[in-house]
Structure 1
Amino acid sequence: MFHLKLFLEYFKQYMKVRLAYRWDFLAQFVTDFLFQAVNLVFILVIFGHTSQLNGWNRYEVIFIYGYFLIPWAIFSAIFNLWDFNERYVIRGELDRILTRPVHSLVQVIMETMTPESLIGVVTGFIVMGWAAMGLDLTWTWLDPLLFLLFALGGVAIYAGIFITLTSISLFTDSKSDIQPIMFNIGTYGRYPINVYHRVIQFVLTWILPFAFVGFYPASYLLDKSHWQWYAMITPLVGIVYFCIGVFVWNWGIRNYRGAGN
Protein backbone atom coordinates (compact mmCIF):
# COMPACT_ATOMS: atom_id res chain seq x y z
CA MET A 1 0.00 0.00 0.00
CA PHE A 2 2.90 2.35 0.75
CA HIS A 3 4.34 1.94 -2.73
CA LEU A 4 0.90 2.23 -4.30
CA LYS A 5 0.24 5.53 -2.52
CA LEU A 6 3.69 6.74 -3.52
CA PHE A 7 3.02 5.78 -7.12
CA LEU A 8 -0.27 7.71 -7.12
CA GLU A 9 1.49 10.79 -5.76
CA TYR A 10 4.16 10.58 -8.44
CA PHE A 11 1.46 10.08 -11.06
CA LYS A 12 -0.45 13.18 -9.92
CA GLN A 13 2.69 15.30 -10.04
CA TYR A 14 3.55 13.96 -13.47
CA MET A 15 0.10 14.80 -14.84
CA LYS A 16 0.32 18.33 -13.41
CA VAL A 17 3.59 18.87 -15.26
CA ARG A 18 2.37 17.36 -18.54
CA LEU A 19 -0.98 19.18 -18.50
CA ALA A 20 0.81 22.49 -18.10
CA TYR A 21 1.41 22.11 -21.84
CA ARG A 22 -1.80 20.43 -22.96
CA TRP A 23 -1.19 20.56 -26.69
CA ASP A 24 2.22 18.97 -26.26
CA PHE A 25 0.59 16.21 -24.22
CA LEU A 26 -2.01 15.65 -26.92
CA ALA A 27 0.66 15.70 -29.63
CA GLN A 28 2.41 12.84 -27.86
CA PHE A 29 -0.72 10.70 -28.14
CA VAL A 30 -1.09 11.53 -31.83
CA THR A 31 2.60 10.84 -32.53
CA ASP A 32 2.49 7.43 -30.84
CA PHE A 33 -0.68 6.52 -32.73
CA LEU A 34 0.84 7.52 -36.08
CA PHE A 35 4.01 5.57 -35.33
CA GLN A 36 2.01 2.37 -34.78
CA ALA A 37 -0.07 3.11 -37.89
CA VAL A 38 3.08 3.27 -40.03
CA ASN A 39 4.10 -0.20 -38.83
CA LEU A 40 0.63 -1.50 -39.69
CA VAL A 41 0.89 -0.03 -43.17
CA PHE A 42 4.17 -1.93 -43.60
CA ILE A 43 2.34 -5.22 -42.92
CA LEU A 44 -0.43 -4.29 -45.37
CA VAL A 45 2.15 -3.49 -48.05
CA ILE A 46 3.72 -6.93 -47.62
CA PHE A 47 0.35 -8.66 -48.02
CA GLY A 48 -0.37 -6.51 -51.02
CA HIS A 49 2.20 -8.69 -52.81
CA THR A 50 1.38 -12.07 -51.23
CA SER A 51 -1.62 -13.76 -49.64
CA GLN A 52 0.38 -15.96 -47.26
CA LEU A 53 3.51 -15.49 -45.14
CA ASN A 54 4.82 -19.00 -44.42
CA GLY A 55 1.31 -20.23 -43.68
CA TRP A 56 0.02 -17.06 -41.99
CA ASN A 57 -2.61 -14.92 -43.67
CA ARG A 58 -2.94 -11.16 -43.47
CA TYR A 59 -5.44 -11.02 -40.62
CA GLU A 60 -3.44 -13.44 -38.49
CA VAL A 61 -0.25 -11.38 -38.83
CA ILE A 62 -2.18 -8.18 -38.08
CA PHE A 63 -3.71 -9.85 -35.01
CA ILE A 64 -0.24 -10.80 -33.74
CA TYR A 65 0.96 -7.25 -34.30
CA GLY A 66 -2.05 -5.80 -32.47
CA TYR A 67 -1.49 -8.10 -29.52
CA PHE A 68 2.20 -7.17 -29.39
CA LEU A 69 1.30 -3.49 -29.02
CA ILE A 70 -0.42 -4.08 -25.68
CA PRO A 71 2.46 -5.45 -23.53
CA TRP A 72 4.86 -3.13 -25.36
CA ALA A 73 2.74 -0.07 -24.51
CA ILE A 74 2.47 -1.06 -20.83
CA PHE A 75 6.22 -1.62 -20.67
CA SER A 76 6.96 1.72 -22.35
CA ALA A 77 4.65 3.57 -19.96
CA ILE A 78 6.21 2.12 -16.80
CA PHE A 79 9.81 1.22 -17.61
CA ASN A 80 11.02 4.30 -19.46
CA LEU A 81 14.73 3.72 -18.77
CA TRP A 82 16.21 4.98 -22.04
CA ASP A 83 18.13 7.96 -20.61
CA PHE A 84 19.06 6.39 -17.25
CA ASN A 85 22.82 6.56 -17.89
CA GLU A 86 22.81 10.22 -18.85
CA ARG A 87 20.42 11.41 -16.15
CA TYR A 88 21.15 9.26 -13.13
CA VAL A 89 24.76 8.16 -13.49
CA ILE A 90 26.58 10.86 -15.45
CA ARG A 91 24.62 13.73 -13.85
CA GLY A 92 24.73 12.06 -10.45
CA GLU A 93 20.98 11.97 -9.71
CA LEU A 94 21.24 8.37 -8.56
CA ASP A 95 23.04 9.65 -5.45
CA ARG A 96 19.84 11.49 -4.53
CA ILE A 97 17.80 8.33 -5.11
CA LEU A 98 20.00 6.26 -2.82
CA THR A 99 19.42 8.57 0.17
CA ARG A 100 15.70 7.76 0.27
CA PRO A 101 14.04 4.80 2.07
CA VAL A 102 12.46 3.29 -1.06
CA HIS A 103 14.03 0.75 -3.38
CA SER A 104 16.13 2.59 -5.96
CA LEU A 105 14.58 0.84 -8.97
CA VAL A 106 11.06 1.70 -7.80
CA GLN A 107 12.02 5.37 -7.49
CA VAL A 108 13.63 5.48 -10.93
CA ILE A 109 10.56 3.84 -12.48
CA MET A 110 8.20 6.33 -10.83
CA GLU A 111 10.31 9.31 -11.86
CA THR A 112 10.63 8.25 -15.51
CA MET A 113 7.21 6.75 -16.27
CA THR A 114 5.31 8.04 -19.30
CA PRO A 115 1.59 7.18 -18.93
CA GLU A 116 0.78 8.66 -22.35
CA SER A 117 2.44 5.62 -23.91
CA LEU A 118 -0.60 3.61 -22.79
CA ILE A 119 -2.32 4.86 -25.95
CA GLY A 120 -0.66 1.83 -27.50
CA VAL A 121 -3.01 -0.40 -25.51
CA VAL A 122 -6.01 1.24 -27.18
CA THR A 123 -4.33 0.97 -30.57
CA GLY A 124 -3.54 -2.69 -29.94
CA PHE A 125 -7.15 -3.54 -29.10
CA ILE A 126 -8.38 -1.68 -32.19
CA VAL A 127 -5.95 -3.55 -34.45
CA MET A 128 -6.79 -6.90 -32.83
CA GLY A 129 -10.51 -6.22 -33.16
CA TRP A 130 -10.16 -5.33 -36.81
CA ALA A 131 -8.17 -8.50 -37.50
CA ALA A 132 -10.57 -10.65 -35.46
CA MET A 133 -13.45 -9.58 -37.70
CA GLY A 134 -11.66 -11.26 -40.60
CA LEU A 135 -10.98 -14.44 -38.64
CA ASP A 136 -13.18 -17.22 -37.32
CA LEU A 137 -12.08 -17.22 -33.68
CA THR A 138 -13.73 -19.09 -30.83
CA TRP A 139 -12.81 -17.91 -27.34
CA THR A 140 -13.84 -19.38 -23.99
CA TRP A 141 -14.43 -17.63 -20.67
CA LEU A 142 -10.84 -18.52 -19.68
CA ASP A 143 -9.20 -16.74 -22.60
CA PRO A 144 -9.53 -13.15 -21.23
CA LEU A 145 -7.78 -14.25 -18.03
CA LEU A 146 -5.03 -15.94 -20.03
CA PHE A 147 -4.78 -12.84 -22.18
CA LEU A 148 -4.10 -10.75 -19.07
CA LEU A 149 -1.50 -13.23 -17.77
CA PHE A 150 0.21 -13.37 -21.17
CA ALA A 151 0.33 -9.58 -21.44
CA LEU A 152 1.78 -9.17 -17.94
CA GLY A 153 4.30 -11.91 -18.71
CA GLY A 154 5.36 -10.03 -21.84
CA VAL A 155 5.76 -6.82 -19.86
CA ALA A 156 7.93 -8.66 -17.32
CA ILE A 157 10.13 -10.09 -20.08
CA TYR A 158 10.76 -6.69 -21.60
CA ALA A 159 11.28 -5.16 -18.16
CA GLY A 160 13.75 -7.84 -17.10
CA ILE A 161 15.85 -7.54 -20.25
CA PHE A 162 15.99 -3.75 -20.27
CA ILE A 163 16.56 -3.47 -16.51
CA THR A 164 19.52 -5.80 -16.99
CA LEU A 165 20.88 -3.65 -19.82
CA THR A 166 20.29 -0.47 -17.83
CA SER A 167 22.19 -1.95 -14.90
CA ILE A 168 25.37 -2.00 -17.01
CA SER A 169 25.54 1.76 -16.37
CA LEU A 170 25.99 1.06 -12.67
CA PHE A 171 29.30 -0.67 -13.35
CA THR A 172 30.67 1.97 -15.73
CA ASP A 173 29.92 5.64 -16.40
CA SER A 174 30.44 5.27 -20.15
CA LYS A 175 27.45 5.50 -22.46
CA SER A 176 26.16 2.28 -23.98
CA ASP A 177 24.41 1.76 -27.31
CA ILE A 178 23.13 -1.71 -26.46
CA GLN A 179 19.56 -0.65 -25.70
CA PRO A 180 18.76 0.70 -29.20
CA ILE A 181 20.10 -2.53 -30.69
CA MET A 182 17.98 -4.59 -28.30
CA PHE A 183 14.95 -2.45 -29.14
CA ASN A 184 15.34 -3.37 -32.81
CA ILE A 185 15.71 -7.06 -31.96
CA GLY A 186 12.59 -6.86 -29.80
CA THR A 187 10.46 -5.87 -32.78
CA TYR A 188 11.03 -9.33 -34.24
CA GLY A 189 8.57 -10.65 -31.67
CA ARG A 190 5.63 -9.00 -33.40
CA TYR A 191 5.80 -11.32 -36.42
CA PRO A 192 5.35 -15.11 -36.77
CA ILE A 193 8.53 -16.70 -35.51
CA ASN A 194 8.58 -19.47 -38.11
CA VAL A 195 9.33 -16.94 -40.86
CA TYR A 196 12.86 -16.64 -39.43
CA HIS A 197 15.87 -18.95 -39.59
CA ARG A 198 15.98 -21.65 -36.88
CA VAL A 199 18.91 -19.96 -35.16
CA ILE A 200 16.91 -16.75 -34.85
CA GLN A 201 13.91 -18.73 -33.61
CA PHE A 202 16.06 -20.24 -30.87
CA VAL A 203 17.46 -16.84 -29.84
CA LEU A 204 14.01 -15.23 -29.76
CA THR A 205 12.68 -18.10 -27.65
CA TRP A 206 15.35 -19.03 -25.12
CA ILE A 207 17.98 -16.27 -25.04
CA LEU A 208 16.17 -13.02 -25.81
CA PRO A 209 12.61 -14.33 -25.48
CA PHE A 210 10.81 -11.57 -27.37
CA ALA A 211 8.69 -14.21 -29.12
CA PHE A 212 6.88 -14.66 -25.79
CA VAL A 213 5.91 -10.98 -25.85
CA GLY A 214 3.94 -11.15 -29.07
CA PHE A 215 3.95 -14.26 -31.19
CA TYR A 216 3.45 -17.21 -28.82
CA PRO A 217 0.55 -15.75 -26.78
CA ALA A 218 -1.14 -14.34 -29.88
CA SER A 219 -0.84 -17.68 -31.69
CA TYR A 220 -2.63 -19.34 -28.77
CA LEU A 221 -5.45 -16.80 -29.03
CA LEU A 222 -5.55 -17.62 -32.76
CA ASP A 223 -6.23 -21.28 -31.84
CA LYS A 224 -2.84 -22.41 -33.14
CA SER A 225 -2.38 -25.50 -30.96
CA HIS A 226 1.17 -26.09 -32.22
CA TRP A 227 2.42 -23.17 -30.10
CA GLN A 228 0.14 -23.70 -27.09
CA TRP A 229 2.84 -24.99 -24.72
CA TYR A 230 5.06 -21.97 -25.40
CA ALA A 231 2.18 -19.59 -24.76
CA MET A 232 1.37 -21.20 -21.41
CA ILE A 233 4.86 -20.67 -20.01
CA THR A 234 4.90 -16.96 -20.93
CA PRO A 235 4.18 -15.80 -17.33
CA LEU A 236 6.93 -18.11 -16.02
CA VAL A 237 9.45 -16.78 -18.54
CA GLY A 238 8.44 -13.25 -17.53
CA ILE A 239 9.01 -13.97 -13.84
CA VAL A 240 12.43 -15.53 -14.50
CA TYR A 241 13.70 -12.65 -16.64
CA PHE A 242 12.28 -9.98 -14.36
CA CYS A 243 13.98 -11.59 -11.35
CA ILE A 244 17.24 -11.67 -13.31
CA GLY A 245 16.85 -7.97 -14.08
CA VAL A 246 16.22 -7.05 -10.43
CA PHE A 247 19.12 -9.23 -9.29
CA VAL A 248 21.54 -7.56 -11.71
CA TRP A 249 20.20 -4.13 -10.69
CA ASN A 250 20.78 -4.83 -6.99
CA TRP A 251 24.24 -6.14 -7.80
CA GLY A 252 24.98 -2.98 -9.75
CA ILE A 253 23.73 -0.76 -6.91
CA ARG A 254 26.11 -2.52 -4.52
CA ASN A 255 28.89 -1.91 -7.03
CA TYR A 256 27.96 1.74 -7.66
CA ARG A 257 30.47 4.20 -6.17
CA GLY A 258 28.66 7.51 -6.68
CA ALA A 259 29.13 10.50 -8.96
CA GLY A 260 32.23 12.66 -9.14
CA ASN A 261 35.89 11.74 -9.15
Structure 2
Amino acid sequence: MAVRTLLFYFKIYLKITSQYFKVKMQYRADFIISSIGMLVTNLVGILPLWIIFNSVSSLEGFTYYEILFIYSFSLIALSPLQLFFDNIWNLWTHLIDGTFIKYYLKPINVMFYYMSEVFDIKGLSQLAFGAAGLIYASVQLGLSWNLVSIVLLLIALLGSSLIMVSLMIMAAATGFWITNPFHVIAFVFRFREIVKYPVTIFNNFFKFLFTFILPIGFVAFYPSQLFLKSFTDADLLAYCSPLVGVLLFSLAYLAWNKAIKSYSGTGS
Protein backbone atom coordinates (compact mmCIF):
# COMPACT_ATOMS: atom_id res chain seq x y z
CA MET A 1 0.00 0.00 0.00
CA ALA A 2 2.78 2.44 0.93
CA VAL A 3 4.66 1.68 -2.32
CA ARG A 4 1.50 2.18 -4.40
CA THR A 5 0.87 5.50 -2.65
CA LEU A 6 4.41 6.67 -3.34
CA LEU A 7 4.11 5.69 -7.00
CA PHE A 8 0.78 7.50 -7.21
CA TYR A 9 2.25 10.73 -5.86
CA PHE A 10 5.37 10.34 -7.98
CA LYS A 11 3.28 10.14 -11.17
CA ILE A 12 1.27 13.18 -10.14
CA TYR A 13 4.45 15.10 -9.35
CA LEU A 14 5.89 14.32 -12.78
CA LYS A 15 2.72 15.57 -14.47
CA ILE A 16 2.61 18.78 -12.43
CA THR A 17 6.33 19.45 -12.92
CA SER A 18 6.18 18.78 -16.67
CA GLN A 19 3.47 21.43 -17.00
CA TYR A 20 5.54 23.83 -14.94
CA PHE A 21 8.54 23.22 -17.20
CA LYS A 22 6.46 23.94 -20.29
CA VAL A 23 5.44 27.28 -18.83
CA LYS A 24 8.98 28.22 -17.74
CA MET A 25 10.48 27.28 -21.11
CA GLN A 26 8.33 29.96 -22.66
CA TYR A 27 10.64 32.41 -20.87
CA ARG A 28 14.06 30.86 -21.52
CA ALA A 29 15.91 34.14 -21.10
CA ASP A 30 14.53 34.43 -17.58
CA PHE A 31 15.74 30.90 -16.80
CA ILE A 32 19.23 31.59 -18.15
CA ILE A 33 19.57 34.92 -16.36
CA SER A 34 18.28 33.54 -13.04
CA SER A 35 20.63 30.53 -13.27
CA ILE A 36 23.60 32.80 -13.93
CA GLY A 37 22.47 34.95 -11.02
CA MET A 38 22.41 31.90 -8.74
CA LEU A 39 25.95 30.93 -9.81
CA VAL A 40 27.22 34.47 -9.22
CA THR A 41 25.56 34.52 -5.79
CA ASN A 42 27.33 31.31 -4.79
CA LEU A 43 30.64 32.53 -6.18
CA VAL A 44 30.31 35.76 -4.22
CA GLY A 45 29.60 33.65 -1.13
CA ILE A 46 33.07 32.14 -1.40
CA LEU A 47 34.71 35.58 -1.64
CA PRO A 48 34.74 36.20 2.16
CA LEU A 49 36.53 32.86 2.61
CA TRP A 50 39.16 33.83 0.08
CA ILE A 51 39.67 37.20 1.79
CA ILE A 52 39.92 35.63 5.26
CA PHE A 53 42.39 32.95 4.21
CA ASN A 54 44.59 35.51 2.49
CA SER A 55 45.26 36.83 5.99
CA VAL A 56 45.23 33.64 8.09
CA SER A 57 46.26 30.05 7.43
CA SER A 58 43.39 28.51 9.41
CA LEU A 59 40.09 29.44 11.02
CA GLU A 60 39.45 27.75 14.37
CA GLY A 61 41.72 24.95 13.18
CA PHE A 62 40.06 24.58 9.78
CA THR A 63 42.01 25.13 6.56
CA TYR A 64 40.63 26.90 3.48
CA TYR A 65 39.78 23.65 1.70
CA GLU A 66 38.07 22.20 4.77
CA ILE A 67 35.88 25.32 4.99
CA LEU A 68 35.26 25.05 1.24
CA PHE A 69 34.17 21.43 1.76
CA ILE A 70 31.68 22.51 4.45
CA TYR A 71 30.47 25.41 2.29
CA SER A 72 29.95 23.14 -0.74
CA PHE A 73 28.24 20.50 1.41
CA SER A 74 25.79 23.17 2.58
CA LEU A 75 24.99 24.23 -0.99
CA ILE A 76 24.07 20.66 -1.92
CA ALA A 77 22.06 20.20 1.28
CA LEU A 78 20.15 23.44 0.65
CA SER A 79 19.38 22.63 -2.99
CA PRO A 80 16.20 20.57 -2.29
CA LEU A 81 14.78 23.57 -0.44
CA GLN A 82 15.46 25.70 -3.52
CA LEU A 83 14.25 23.10 -6.01
CA PHE A 84 11.16 21.58 -4.40
CA PHE A 85 9.95 23.98 -1.71
CA ASP A 86 10.36 27.41 -3.29
CA ASN A 87 6.59 27.89 -3.29
CA ILE A 88 6.92 28.59 0.43
CA TRP A 89 7.70 32.19 -0.54
CA ASN A 90 4.31 32.56 -2.26
CA LEU A 91 2.22 31.27 0.64
CA TRP A 92 1.43 34.67 2.12
CA THR A 93 -0.14 35.89 -1.15
CA HIS A 94 -2.42 32.83 -1.31
CA LEU A 95 -3.46 33.33 2.30
CA ILE A 96 -4.21 37.03 1.87
CA ASP A 97 -6.20 36.76 -1.37
CA GLY A 98 -7.96 33.55 -0.34
CA THR A 99 -6.69 31.35 -3.18
CA PHE A 100 -5.15 28.82 -0.80
CA ILE A 101 -8.62 27.33 -0.40
CA LYS A 102 -8.20 25.55 -3.77
CA TYR A 103 -5.62 23.20 -2.24
CA TYR A 104 -8.34 21.63 -0.09
CA LEU A 105 -10.40 20.65 -3.13
CA LYS A 106 -8.22 17.80 -4.42
CA PRO A 107 -8.13 14.32 -2.81
CA ILE A 108 -4.37 14.51 -2.29
CA ASN A 109 -2.06 15.70 0.46
CA VAL A 110 -2.28 19.50 0.82
CA MET A 111 1.43 20.04 1.45
CA PHE A 112 2.35 17.89 -1.55
CA TYR A 113 -0.15 19.66 -3.80
CA TYR A 114 1.00 23.11 -2.77
CA MET A 115 4.77 22.53 -2.86
CA SER A 116 4.69 20.57 -6.13
CA GLU A 117 3.33 23.54 -8.06
CA VAL A 118 6.79 25.16 -8.22
CA PHE A 119 10.06 23.52 -9.24
CA ASP A 120 12.76 26.18 -9.10
CA ILE A 121 14.99 25.16 -12.01
CA LYS A 122 17.77 27.58 -11.12
CA GLY A 123 18.37 25.50 -8.01
CA LEU A 124 20.06 23.01 -10.32
CA SER A 125 22.90 25.50 -10.84
CA GLN A 126 23.35 25.70 -7.05
CA LEU A 127 23.42 21.90 -6.88
CA ALA A 128 26.02 21.71 -9.65
CA PHE A 129 28.16 24.41 -8.05
CA GLY A 130 28.04 22.67 -4.68
CA ALA A 131 28.96 19.30 -6.20
CA ALA A 132 31.88 20.85 -8.11
CA GLY A 133 33.12 22.58 -4.96
CA LEU A 134 32.84 19.37 -2.93
CA ILE A 135 34.81 17.39 -5.51
CA TYR A 136 37.47 20.10 -5.82
CA ALA A 137 37.89 20.41 -2.04
CA SER A 138 38.05 16.61 -1.70
CA VAL A 139 40.83 16.42 -4.27
CA GLN A 140 42.81 19.20 -2.58
CA LEU A 141 42.38 17.53 0.82
CA GLY A 142 43.31 14.12 -0.54
CA LEU A 143 40.06 12.54 0.66
CA SER A 144 39.40 9.03 -0.56
CA TRP A 145 35.91 7.90 -1.49
CA ASN A 146 34.45 4.41 -1.71
CA LEU A 147 30.95 2.96 -1.94
CA VAL A 148 30.42 3.11 1.83
CA SER A 149 31.46 6.76 2.15
CA ILE A 150 29.38 7.78 -0.89
CA VAL A 151 26.27 6.09 0.52
CA LEU A 152 26.94 7.72 3.89
CA LEU A 153 27.32 11.07 2.13
CA LEU A 154 23.93 10.70 0.42
CA ILE A 155 22.23 9.72 3.69
CA ALA A 156 23.86 12.65 5.49
CA LEU A 157 22.80 15.07 2.74
CA LEU A 158 19.22 13.81 2.88
CA GLY A 159 19.04 14.38 6.62
CA SER A 160 20.73 17.76 6.31
CA SER A 161 18.30 18.86 3.60
CA LEU A 162 15.30 18.00 5.75
CA ILE A 163 16.50 20.29 8.54
CA MET A 164 16.37 23.57 6.62
CA VAL A 165 13.24 22.47 4.76
CA SER A 166 11.54 21.76 8.09
CA LEU A 167 12.47 25.13 9.57
CA MET A 168 11.10 26.91 6.51
CA ILE A 169 7.85 24.91 6.59
CA MET A 170 7.34 25.77 10.26
CA ALA A 171 8.04 29.43 9.49
CA ALA A 172 5.50 29.33 6.66
CA ALA A 173 2.92 27.60 8.86
CA THR A 174 2.80 30.66 11.12
CA GLY A 175 1.02 32.41 8.27
CA PHE A 176 -2.20 30.55 8.99
CA TRP A 177 -2.38 32.46 12.27
CA ILE A 178 -0.61 35.77 11.53
CA THR A 179 -1.81 35.98 7.88
CA ASN A 180 1.47 37.34 6.46
CA PRO A 181 4.41 35.09 7.34
CA PHE A 182 6.83 36.68 4.85
CA HIS A 183 9.05 38.29 7.48
CA VAL A 184 9.14 35.11 9.58
CA ILE A 185 10.14 33.09 6.50
CA ALA A 186 12.76 35.67 5.53
CA PHE A 187 14.20 35.63 9.06
CA VAL A 188 14.54 31.83 9.09
CA PHE A 189 15.95 31.86 5.56
CA ARG A 190 18.84 34.01 6.75
CA PHE A 191 20.14 31.05 8.74
CA ARG A 192 21.19 29.47 5.44
CA GLU A 193 24.18 31.81 5.51
CA ILE A 194 25.23 30.58 8.96
CA VAL A 195 25.08 26.88 8.05
CA LYS A 196 27.97 27.37 5.60
CA TYR A 197 30.50 27.92 8.39
CA PRO A 198 31.77 25.84 11.33
CA VAL A 199 29.70 26.11 14.49
CA THR A 200 32.97 26.29 16.43
CA ILE A 201 33.64 29.86 15.26
CA PHE A 202 30.80 31.03 17.54
CA ASN A 203 30.86 31.44 21.31
CA ASN A 204 29.48 28.78 23.64
CA PHE A 205 25.98 30.26 23.72
CA PHE A 206 25.56 30.13 19.95
CA LYS A 207 27.24 26.72 19.73
CA PHE A 208 24.57 25.41 22.10
CA LEU A 209 21.81 27.29 20.26
CA PHE A 210 22.81 26.06 16.81
CA THR A 211 23.22 22.50 18.05
CA PHE A 212 20.38 21.77 20.47
CA ILE A 213 17.76 24.53 20.06
CA LEU A 214 17.92 25.60 16.44
CA PRO A 215 19.93 22.69 15.02
CA ILE A 216 21.35 24.33 11.90
CA GLY A 217 24.80 23.01 12.80
CA PHE A 218 23.54 19.66 11.52
CA VAL A 219 22.93 21.05 8.02
CA ALA A 220 26.60 21.07 7.04
CA PHE A 221 29.16 21.40 9.84
CA TYR A 222 28.54 18.24 11.87
CA PRO A 223 27.93 15.81 8.98
CA SER A 224 30.98 17.19 7.14
CA GLN A 225 33.16 15.96 9.98
CA LEU A 226 32.41 12.39 8.92
CA PHE A 227 34.41 12.98 5.78
CA LEU A 228 36.97 15.52 6.95
CA LYS A 229 37.95 13.09 9.72
CA SER A 230 37.93 9.32 9.79
CA PHE A 231 34.64 7.68 10.74
CA THR A 232 36.11 6.56 14.05
CA ASP A 233 37.51 10.00 14.92
CA ALA A 234 34.32 11.92 14.13
CA ASP A 235 32.22 13.13 17.05
CA LEU A 236 28.91 11.36 17.75
CA LEU A 237 27.05 14.49 16.62
CA ALA A 238 28.46 13.96 13.11
CA TYR A 239 26.20 10.91 12.73
CA CYS A 240 23.02 12.65 13.89
CA SER A 241 21.93 14.70 10.86
CA PRO A 242 19.57 12.01 9.45
CA LEU A 243 17.92 11.55 12.85
CA VAL A 244 17.63 15.30 13.45
CA GLY A 245 16.28 15.81 9.94
CA VAL A 246 13.58 13.15 10.24
CA LEU A 247 12.50 14.33 13.71
CA LEU A 248 12.39 17.97 12.67
CA PHE A 249 10.46 17.20 9.48
CA SER A 250 7.94 15.19 11.50
CA LEU A 251 7.40 18.22 13.75
CA ALA A 252 7.14 20.50 10.71
CA TYR A 253 4.57 18.22 9.09
CA LEU A 254 2.50 18.14 12.28
CA ALA A 255 2.71 21.94 12.55
CA TRP A 256 1.66 22.34 8.91
CA ASN A 257 -1.34 20.00 9.29
CA LYS A 258 -2.46 21.75 12.45
CA ALA A 259 -2.08 25.11 10.73
CA ILE A 260 -4.10 24.26 7.61
CA LYS A 261 -6.96 23.07 9.79
CA SER A 262 -7.26 26.60 11.13
CA TYR A 263 -7.60 28.17 7.67
CA SER A 264 -11.06 29.27 6.59
CA GLY A 265 -10.30 31.54 3.62
CA THR A 266 -10.71 35.29 3.54
CA GLY A 267 -14.23 35.17 4.89
CA SER A 268 -15.55 37.21 1.98
- Whether 2:78 is the aligned partner of 1:72: answer yes
Query: Which position in structure 2 is the counterpart of 1:47?
Result: 53
Query: C-alpha displacement at 1:234, in angstroms?
Result: 0.8
Relative distance call for 1:15 and 1:56 in structure 2 (3 A) is same
Q: Deviations over 1:194-236 (max 9, x none)?
A: 1111111111111211111111111211116554311211111
- Residue 226 and residue 178 in structure 1: after superposition, are their counterparts in 2 closer, same or farther (change >3 A)? farther
Query: Moved runs in structure 1, 4+ residues, more than 3 A?
Result: 224-228
Q: Aligned pair in 2 of structure 1 residues 175, 250: CA closer, same or farther (>3 Å)? A: closer
1:174 positional shift: 3.6
Residue matched to 2:199: 193
State the match for 1:119 in structure 2. Answer: 125
Write out per-residue CA displacement over residues 3-26 of structure 1, whole angstroms, 9 at most, x where no aligned residue.
Answer: 101100111111101110111111
Q: Once the two structures are superposed, what CA deviation does each residue of 1:92-116 show, in whole Å capped at 9, x if it has no partner?
A: 1211111111111101111133133
- Residue 176 of structure 1 and its aligned partner are, at CA, apart by 4.3
Unaligned runs of at least 5 residues, structure 2: 1-6
**Alignment partner of 1:142: what SS?**
helix
**2:44 partner SS:** helix
> How many residue pairs are counted as aligned between the two chains?
260
Q: 1:254 aligns with which of 235, 240, 261?
A: 261
| TM-superposed deviation, 1:65 | 0.3
Question: Is the alpha carbon distance of 1:45 and 1:258 closer, same or farther for their aligned partners in structure 2, counting shifts above 3 Å?
Answer: same
1:112-191 correspondence runs (5 A): 112-191=118-197
Superposed CA offset, 1:155-195 (max 9, x none):
11111111111111112324441222212223211111111
Tell me the SS of whatever aligns to 1:112: coil
- What is the letter of the counterpart of residue 165 of structure 1? A
- 1:232 paired to 2:239: yes
Task: Work out the CA distance in 1 between the residues paired with 2:32 and 2:51.
Answer: 29
Percent of residue pairs identical? 26
TM-score normalised over the length of structure 1: 0.95
Whole-Å separation in 1 of the counterparts to 2:35 and 2:261 = 38
Supply the AA of the counterpart residue of 1:247.
L
Give the secondary-structure state (helix, strand or coil) at the position aligned to 1:100: coil
Separation of aligned partners in 1, 2:45 and 2:12: 36
Shift of 1:135: 0.9
Q: Bigger shift: 189-198 or 133-142? A: 133-142
Distance 2:8 2:209 in 1: 39
Q: 1:12 to 1:198 in 2, by over 3 A?
A: same
Counterpart amino acid of 2:254?
F
1:5-55 CA distances to partner (integer Å, 9 max, x unpaired)? Answer: 110011111110111011111111111111000001121111111111010
What residue number does 1:103 align with? 109
8 Å CA contact 1:169–1:175 kept in 2: the answer is yes
CA RMSD of aligned residues (A): 1.5
